[in-house]
Structure 1
Amino acid sequence: MNDNSKSYKGPLALLTALFFMWGLITSLNDILVPHLKSLFELSYVQASLVQFSFFVAYFVMSYPAGKVVSKFGYKAGIIMGLIVAAVGCVLFYPSASLRSYPLFLLSLFILASGLTLLQVAANPYVNSLGSAETAASRLNLTQAFNSLGTTIGPVLGGMFILSATVLTADQIGHLPAGEVQHYFASESASVQMPYLVLTALLVLIAVVIKCSKLPVIADEKEQDNSQDKSLWKQKHLVLGVMGIFAYVGAEVSIGSYLISLLERPDIASLSAVDASQKLSLYWGGAMVGRFIGSVLMTRIKANRLLAFNATIVVLLIASAIFMRGTFSMWAILSVGLFNSIMFPTIFSLALNRLGGLTGRASGVLCMGIVGGAVMPIIQAAVADHVSLLVSFVVPLLCYIYIAWYGCKGYKPAH
């Protein structure tokens, strides 16, 4: 049990920097999707492999990451996660130089593997730095800085990545030889420099954390490995994994295709750069909502707020599909505000009453983040065969499940 009289302001302040960084890095995927789609002349399904390569890492690496955290502790897990993520970022340099889409995808997988370890360690750590009663509120507050990163990311990505002019293969073929090399160099630089800066920041944070004295939580290292099977007997945890799958899948699907949606003449007719600025409103809404949610949860039960927000999102997406035009644009952008509290609230509810199983349970929960790999592909298939706007029914179904989890599924069996 944690000593509630202790002050954890220092460690929590340091951890918010981590939440900010992985929010910024994750939101840059929404910029890479339209950029690489144009650069390599991809279909929606092919472009969705950006998100697939990134989020499938959570499914592959989350359980091993949980074991790493259980064995070595939260601090070591965070440092290792930062270093692996830095390796993924630095690999963007050769990926851009070689203009290799498969190498881009591999770089994203390695980057996401590092962020997986980071999430598995940091989320339960924040959850444990204080009383259980305020865990959801505390995690929402730190996740608000994750949303600050996702708000700033599209603006920076739009400035440094989408601002570069992408030429088709035919257009490149008509350029003089000297201009072709200049074009390839400028295209590479538009991706290389942002990710080299991120590499340096990740390494810097790892060094700072290595030199910092973070408190050790009593149950952060699980001693009894024979308890693995009992994780899957925790009904609210398993349903929580499905909730994380649904939420991340829906959030990533909307973010991935929002720029393409706003470029459509029947919606908003925006340029890619202007649409990327609007994307910041989507993520900015999530940031504002998390600050508000962290306060509301001191007065309203977390599960009730979760169910309410999910229901509002279902109504917003349904109205966007049927109304079209600028109304659809603002309805979808408004989803970000109500998305805000969902991930940390589902995470906190699913970890309730797990004690020494918390480290590994966090790894199991993070496996649900693979929804960010699966749902965008399903939505892309609907977009390719029906229409982009109608494809938003895919995230709508995800939010219906989340509303149910907030009403019924969150309850521990005992």
Structure 2
Amino acid sequence: MQPASNTEVISESSLKGKTLMLPFVLICSLFFLWGMVHNLDGILIPHLKKACQLNNRQSTLVDTSIFLAYFLMAVPAGMLLKRFGYKNSIIIGLVLATIGAALFVPSANALAYTGFLGALFIIGCGIAILETAANPYSAILGDPAGATTRLNIAAFFNGIAAMVGPFVGTKLILSGTDYSEVQLKAMSVTQRSAYFLHEASSVKMPYTVLAIALALVAILFFVAKLPEIKASTKEETSGGNFFGALKHKHLSWAVVAQFFYVGAQVCVTSFFIRMAKQGAGFDEIKAGYYLAMYGFLFMGGRFVGTIFLQFIKSHKLLSIYAVVAALLCAVAILGKGSYVVYCLGAIGFFMSIMFPTIFALGIDGIGDDTKPGSSWLIMSIVGGAVVPYLMATVIDLNGDNIQIGYIIPLICFIVILYFGVSGYKIKKSIA
């Protein structure tokens, strides 16, 4: 698939003390793009809930569609990575994500919720391939001693998207108009249909721009000369195996921790706007901008966390952040007023380093099992499909009480704490 002139195979052992800057910059752009996709979901969920008249569980099918794709694509993505390498896998992922984003236009025109879900599923398939390739590629794209730092620097661009995505989504998607059930019933069928269609149509421009951006980056990757890094140690040349990778006990625990981390993050962002409206009395637009504040704190957490990682062992920092995030969840559950929303914003700060840190700890020392191990860690992102639906069920069963639902992410942070304290340790392979 890839022209020979654009392929350079280099040994991992030759990377000691080096960083490959151009490939790393391109990889950082991927972290930003899939960050935009995920952070538009926090706007998309309450917006489509209104436009398509959904309950909480139905609205979280937005999360289910995109994160289920991660689960289903994990094995194929790993196979693509082993067969075609990092560069071609990334291009395939970008093309799929481009197609999915473009499908938002006909879905909005038809006011078809199933169309939106299908488009999100295709985007999720593309991003699953991107993450399967880009996370390990950024980790090995230079001196092995700097793997965790590189992952966190790349993830910092994901943090920028956490701020930009909600701001753009609030500006371009949310209308600020939210009719009550009584007001809707007072409208004629034609008026209601026009209102719902108008609400749905606001997603067309941002997702069209996203599709164009994804396509342009795919072209950049196609023309760029990127290295294919070859494993060089004895352990790494033994050949990776998908199920055999789980013989590394710390990888198995990382998969569990990543499942609950992604579930917690998606829960916080998916219900953020509804929590701000219900718990603090904010209107839709103000709530959307506060979600951007969450993104700013998430980005700041990535920056500060990257600095802290120079002085604090990654598993210790992960444990500290998990404790604080759990405590903030407890305050959000029990508190009243606008400071509840500030607590949710602060949770973003302390969640910021969790994904890349869990990922780096999980693939640490697993040699040629890095690629299948990465597939397991990407597959665990299915937590974003399962956990928010569980939270929505708790909310629906408690009279649409959003606050009580935050007990679910609290439990998730306790699981992450265990990984940071014990599960991360590299032990003898499971027999």
- If the length of structure 2 is used for normalisation, what is the TM-score? 0.91
Which residue of the other structure, out of 177, 187, 209, is the alignment partner of 1:174? 187
Following the alignment from structure 1 to structure 2, what is the Cα–Cα distance between the partners of residues 157 and 243? 29
> Which residue of the partner structure matches residue 275 of structure 1?
287
Counterpart Cα distance in 1 of 2:149 and 2:302: 9
Q: Specify the alignment match of 1:292 in structure 2.
A: 304
Matched, 1:330 2:326: no
- 1:119-134 matches, within 5 Å, as 119-134=131-146
Distance in 1 separating the partners of 2:295 and 2:240? 41
The SS at the match of 1:16 is helix
The offset of 1:327, in angstroms, is 2.4
Decide which of 23, 42, 62 is 1:30's aligned counterpart: 42
Shift of 1:353: 0.7
Matched to 1:72, the amino acid is F
The answer on 1:66 being equivalent to 2:78 is yes
Identical counterparts, % of pairs = 38
Q: Which amino acid aligns with 2:297?
A: G
Residues 233-291 of structure 1, C-alpha deviation per residue, up to 9 Å, x if partnerless?
A: 11111110111101000000010001000101xx2110111101001111211111111
Q: Which residue of 2 aligns with 1:237?
A: 251
- For the Cα contact (< 8 Å) 2:147–2:360, is it kept in 1? yes
Provide the rounded CA distance (Å) in 2 between the counterparts of 1:411 and 1:181. 57
Measure the CA separation in 1 of the matches of 2:197 and 2:56: 26
Question: After superposition, what is the alpha-carbon deviation per residue over 1:142-168, rounded to whole angstroms, capped at 9, x for unaligned?
Answer: 101001012101111111111264667
CA contact (8 A) 2:255 2:376 kept: yes
Match of 2:418 among 377, 380, 404: 404
Q: Is 2:54 aligned against 1:6?
A: no
1:246 corresponds to: 260
Aligned counterparts of 1:320 and 1:330: Cα–Cα separation in 2: 9
Asked if 1:413 corresponds to 2:412, the answer is no
1:56 aligns with 2:68: yes
Match of 1:295, as an amino acid? I
Aligned runs of 1:29-108 on 2, under 5 Å? Answer: 29-108=41-120
Does 2:378 match 1:366? yes
Confirm or deny that 1:356 pairs with 2:362.
Answer: no
Output the aligned Cα RMSD.
Answer: 2.0
Q: Which moved more, 1:341-350 or 1:182-191?
A: 182-191
* CA deviation string 1:115-153 (max 9, x = no partner): 000000000000001223221111111101001012101
Which whole-Å deviations, capped at 9, do the CAs of 1:85-136 have from their partners, x for residues lacking one?
A: 0010011111111111111111110111000000000000000012232211
**Aligned residues of 2:149 and 2:309 also touching (Cα < 8 A):** yes
Q: Residue 41 of structure 1 contacts residue 168 of structure 1 at CA under 8 Å; is this kept in 2?
A: no
Q: Secondary structure at the match of 1:411?
A: coil
Q: How far did residue 188 of structure 1 move?
A: 4.2
Aligned length: 410
Deviations 1:381-411 (A, max 9, x none): 1111122101101000000010110110001
TM-score normalised according to structure 1 size: 0.94
Render the CA deviation track for 1:199-250: whole Å, top value 9, x for unaligned.
1110000001111111221139x98767333212111111101111010000
Aligned counterpart, 2:27: 15
Q: Distance in 2 between matches of 1:49 and 1:185?
A: 20
Is residue 2:404 matched to residue 1:390?
A: yes
Q: Deviations over 1:60-95 (max 9, x none)?
A: 111210111111111111110000000100111111
Shift of the 38–186 alpha-carbon distance from structure 1 to 2, 3 Å rule, reads closer
Contact 1:19–1:145 (CA<8 Å) still a contact in 2? Answer: yes
Distance 1:347 1:176, change over 3 A: closer
Does the aligned pair in 1 maintain the 2:162–2:292 contact within 8 Å?
A: yes
Instruction: Name the structure 2 match of 1:259.
Output: 273
Contact 1:20 1:146 in 2 (8 A): yes
Contact 1:39 / 1:167 at 8 angstroms: preserved in 2? no
- In structure 2, distance between residues paired with 1:384 and 1:270: 21
Q: 1:313 aligns with which of 314, 325, 330?
A: 325
Distance 1:2 1:391, change over 3 A: farther
Which of the residues 149, 156, 161 maps onto 2:161? Answer: 149
Matched, 1:109 2:109: no
Asked if the contact 2:86/2:134 (under 8 Å) is kept, the reply is: yes
Check conservation: 2:40, 2:169, Cα contact below 8 A.
Answer: yes
Tell me: CA distance 1:94–1:223, structure 2 relative to 1, closer, same or farther (3 Å): farther
Residue 216 of structure 1 aligns to a residue in which SS?
strand
In the alignment, structure 2 segments of 5+ residues that lack a partner are: 1-12
SS in 1 for 2:242: helix
What letter is aligned with 1:19?
Answer: F
